[in-house]
Structure 1
Amino acid sequence: MSEAISVPGVPRRFAALRNRNSRPYLFTSGLSMMADNTEHVITYWVLWQTFHSATLVGFEVISHWLPFLLLSVWAGSLAERFDCRKLIQASQGLFMLVSALWGVLFLTHSLHVWEACVLLVLHGTAGAIWGPAEQLMLHDFVDRSELPSAVRLNATFQSLGLLFGPVVGSALLVGLGPTAGIFVNVLLYLPMQILMMRTSFTGHRRDAELAGASGGARSGRSVTFKDTMRVLRSIRSNHLIIAMIIISGLTAITIGNALQVSMPVFADRLGAGSSGDLTYGMLLFAMGFGGVAGGFLLEATGLVRPSLRSAVIATAVFGAATLAFALTGSYALALLALVVAGLGEIASLSITQSVVQLEAPAGERGRTLGLYGMFASGLRAGGGVTLGVLGAAVGVIPAVGTFAAVLAVGAFGAWWYAARAGRATPGAQPTRSAS
């Protein structure tokens, strides 16, 4: 059984890139993501050179993802209630402030561990605020038939940012030094700020027009954590959304971060030797390239539609390719497996997010997307714990292989859950069509 989302019409290839409203956002989103990762390159290097603390390295990962776990649903409530342009400006402004404060601390040679921890948490908080607001903006920029294209291309451009962030960060670090480099990084967030000043979209215009209301914020009443939990009860009968959340959460807690942080171990296993830097860099590049190339390939072919079946298959491909990477001793096959894994990961991410976007109730879309983000991003904070525990018991490489197998099997488990739930509620009025 497969559930395909009802999307009117057949969208053009690269529809969101052709759309004059969403096109500027795609480019500025990729640029901001590149700035995010450029900051990581510079600050992580300085922190290691200054403190040589393995504990701080672990905190760098946790602090980036824990705000998503704790704040995503709340941030979704904010996105429902307030102008999403302002929320995106606030998030980008917080990114800029953090980069600038790093620069001041570097310049004055006054960096302490507690200051670093505060800035790392603020950086993660900015990302958590940005997530739901940007998804509502994508929903506003394009109509329903083009929404999967917008989600997929946004993920692709952000993958480009992830791919080039380390390159730009390294260039700034070597060419200008960490202090000047981090101040230059502040400027990379400006295009998004300027775009949010110029666009008339608020994240609510399209739904408001359909409802015959104004395009402003939905409600002025205060946002509470108790209020955000209501979305859990309201969507639990929608087995498609729940299945997407299960798949994204399972991805996050198994191999969401495991490949990146364990890559030095794989590089050593594959015989890095004197060319270790090149081997390590090529392994990281291969997966990033797979994500970017996969995103453009999926958009160009239009073969993959947002459905339960395609989400499960994409996630299973991601898991299977990662398992193949963990098992192979061939460098060439490892690179190929990582390219396929990158393709599967971006397909899984864009499909699950598109399904949640299309299925979410209009009045609760922000909180629903926040709930998705809590699992898809927030559970990555726990991924480091699971990798550390199992890795200590059986070794890092067997641990990654085990998690990859669990993800592939778990994706089909989510399919079984959705199919079983659909049969158990024959009287429901779905907003989707089977295929």
Structure 2
Amino acid sequence: MTAALPAPRRFGPLRDKHSRPYLITAGLSMMGDNIEHVITYWVLWQVFASPWLVGFQLISHWLPFLLFSVVFGGLAEKYDCRRLIQIAQLLFAFVSLSWGLLFLTGTLEMWSACVLLVLHGCAGALWGPAEQLMLHDFATPEELPSAVRLNATFKSLGVLAGPVVGSALMLLLGTTWGIFANILFYLPMTLLMLRTPFTGHTRSGYVRRERISILDTPRVLGTVRRDPVLVGMIALAGLIAVCMGTSLQVVMPSVADGLGAGDEGGLGYGALLFANGVGGVVGGILIEATGVLRVEVRSAVLAAIVYGLTSIIAVTSGSYALVLTALVIGGVANLAATAVGQALVQIRAPEEQRGRVVGAYSMIGSGMRTGNGITLGAIGTVLGVGGAVAVGGVGLIAGTALIAALIALHARRGRAA
């Protein structure tokens, strides 16, 4: 649990002329992803006011990750990752263009909205494995954890800025022209893939020759079970997804009301809403600058436990300052746990299965967020939404401790053998 890689240069990937624009354009694409959510979700509620459609928005976004991530990882192993990224970005842009045309012509219907929501989710699932494999070309093995962490930080910045920029676009341009303008955020990464010399296979030289099959998912999961660290980090990603997912964002209105900061448009509520995201961005920068985070199982475990503790504090404390602090620290811990876990998975994955293993990580870490909505709703009906998040925090702490114990037990048996 303590073996770690040599300390990399501080902000090493940002010093490279190839990886720097890659990280920035990834953040812009993630911003476009979230701008689309802001605009389309508002329009869909205004047009249909359907609770069923609200639930489908969540399911359609994450279910493609659960179903297709390993298959898309296989595609990333076999084909030029630049082209897969371009296809994903163009699919994002096509969906935004289609929304705009439907808004402009007044022809939006429930079925067309559902189709576009599914296509948007598929674009995200296709983008993920290819985008992660490209990091292996941009960064040396020693700097790969830094590249993964900075990639997550820039994406977190896109997630944080997306609602702000989306709201501004609706205010300045309206929903129709705002969604048309959103297409521009996908163009930088699309065009960058025409210039970069890397393919996602340049450094390793490995290109998969076998056919892509839907059966790759059970095969890959059967293979990685031989490595307890791989299994543990994939399980930890799934645990965070199921126990926490996006529940903190959902529960913030209730928390704000309990603290007396629930006025619509109030600064108190807004600060709570953005505190968790700010923690992810600022935390990623501070961790990179200080080098305090070692790429080892212990770091991921401790970060996940802190995330669980701060989540419990955020929904049970009566102090506004304490809740705000807990949300910021929780954002840092969440980014640390996921970045370290993903770096370990990418480092330890067999070269000939790296794309599919990364896909398996995405399948569990992102796809299982669909389960968070189910658990939040089921437990929330009994204990309230705040109580449901607290239970999720307890579950995250207990599950993380169990994962750490099993990895340590396997390592002890290996040394004894």
Distance in 2, Cα, partners of 1:56 & 1:268? 26
Structure 1 match to 2:299: 310
Distance in 2, Cα, partners of 1:149 & 1:180? 38
Distance in 2, Cα, partners of 1:394 & 1:10? 45
The alpha carbon displacement at 1:323 in A equals 0.8
Please give the residue correspondences for 1:375-386 in structure 2 after superposition, counting only pairs within 5 Å.
375-386=364-375
The alpha carbon displacement at 1:222 in A equals 2.6
- Tell me whether 1:255 sits opposite 2:252 in the alignment: no
Please give the residue correspondences for 1:168-183 in structure 2 after superposition, counting only pairs within 5 Å.
168-183=165-180
Report if aligned partners of 1:287, 1:339 keep a CA contact under 8 Å in 2.
yes
Letter in 1 for 2:3: A
- Tell me whether 1:41 sits opposite 2:31 in the alignment: no
Structure 2 match to 1:239: 228
For residue 25 of structure 2, the aligned residue among 28, 36, 40 is: 28
Structure 2 match to 1:405: 394
SS in 2 for 1:10: coil
SS in 1 for 2:128: helix
Q: TM-score, normalised by structure 2?
A: 0.98
Report if aligned partners of 1:153, 1:295 keep a CA contact under 8 Å in 2.
yes
Distance in 1, Cα, partners of 2:85 & 2:334? 25
Structure 2 match to 1:281: 270
For residue 138 of structure 1, the aligned residue among 135, 139, 150 is: 135
Q: What is the percent sequence identity of the aligned residues?
A: 55
Report if aligned partners of 1:30, 1:160 keep a CA contact under 8 Å in 2.
yes
Distance in 1, Cα, partners of 2:216 & 2:254? 45
- Tell me whether 1:95 sits opposite 2:84 in the alignment: no
The alpha carbon displacement at 1:275 in A equals 5.3
SS in 1 for 2:200: coil
The alpha carbon displacement at 1:10 in A equals 2.9
The alpha carbon displacement at 1:109 in A equals 0.5
Distance in 2, Cα, partners of 1:126 & 1:400? 30
Q: Deviations over 1:321-353 (max 9, x none)?
A: 111111111111111110000000000110000
Report if aligned partners of 1:289, 1:339 keep a CA contact under 8 Å in 2.
yes
SS in 1 for 2:245: coil
- Tell me whether 1:218 sits opposite 2:202 in the alignment: no
Distance in 2, Cα, partners of 1:352 & 1:16? 19
Distance in 2, Cα, partners of 1:361 & 1:427? 25
For residue 416 of structure 1, the aligned residue among 387, 390, 405 is: 405
- Tell me whether 1:68 sits opposite 2:98 in the alignment: no
Distance in 1, Cα, partners of 2:262 & 2:301? 38
Structure 2 match to 1:56: 53
SS in 2 for 1:72: helix
Report if aligned partners of 2:86, 2:190 keep a CA contact under 8 Å in 1.
yes
The alpha carbon displacement at 1:273 in A equals 4.6
Q: Deviations over 1:259-312 (max 9, x none)?
A: 111211112111135455433321121111111000000000001111010000
Q: TM-score, normalised by structure 1?
A: 0.94
Letter in 2 for 1:85: R
Structure 2 match to 1:157: 154
SS in 1 for 2:324: helix
Distance in 1, Cα, partners of 2:325 & 2:357? 36
SS in 2 for 1:145: coil
Structure 2 match to 1:327: 316
Structure 2 match to 1:205: 202
Report if aligned partners of 1:323, 1:401 keep a CA contact under 8 Å in 2.
yes
Q: CA RMSD in A?
A: 1.3
Distance of aligned partners of 1:57 and 1:275 in 2 relative to their CA distance in 1, 3 Å threshold: closer
Q: Deviations over 1:142-163 (max 9, x none)?
A: 1100000000000000000011
SS in 2 for 1:49: helix
Please give the residue correspondences for 1:323-402 in structure 2 after superposition, counting only pairs within 5 Å.
323-402=312-391
Structure 2 match to 1:105: 102
Letter in 2 for 1:320: L
Distance in 1, Cα, partners of 2:415 & 2:126? 38
Distance in 1, Cα, partners of 2:279 & 2:164? 17
Distance in 2, Cα, partners of 1:84 & 1:229? 23
Q: Deviations over 1:114-141 (max 9, x none)?
A: 1111111110110001111111000111
The alpha carbon displacement at 1:427 in A equals 8.0
Letter in 2 for 1:55: W
Structure 2 match to 1:266: 255
Report if aligned partners of 1:99, 1:183 keep a CA contact under 8 Å in 2.
yes
Report if aligned partners of 1:69, 1:378 keep a CA contact under 8 Å in 2.
yes
Query: What is the number of residues matched between the two proteins?
Result: 417
SS in 2 for 1:207: coil
Structure 2 match to 1:117: 114
Report if aligned partners of 1:77, 1:228 keep a CA contact under 8 Å in 2.
no
The alpha carbon displacement at 1:196 in A equals 0.6
Distance in 2, Cα, partners of 1:233 & 1:255? 27
Distance of aligned partners of 1:259 and 1:273 in 2 relative to their CA distance in 1, 3 Å threshold: closer
Letter in 1 for 2:352: G
**Structure 2: gaps of 5 or more residues:** none
Distance in 2, Cα, partners of 1:127 & 1:427? 44
Report if aligned partners of 1:11, 1:145 keep a CA contact under 8 Å in 2.
yes
The alpha carbon displacement at 1:35 in A equals 0.4
- Tell me whether 1:147 sits opposite 2:147 in the alignment: no
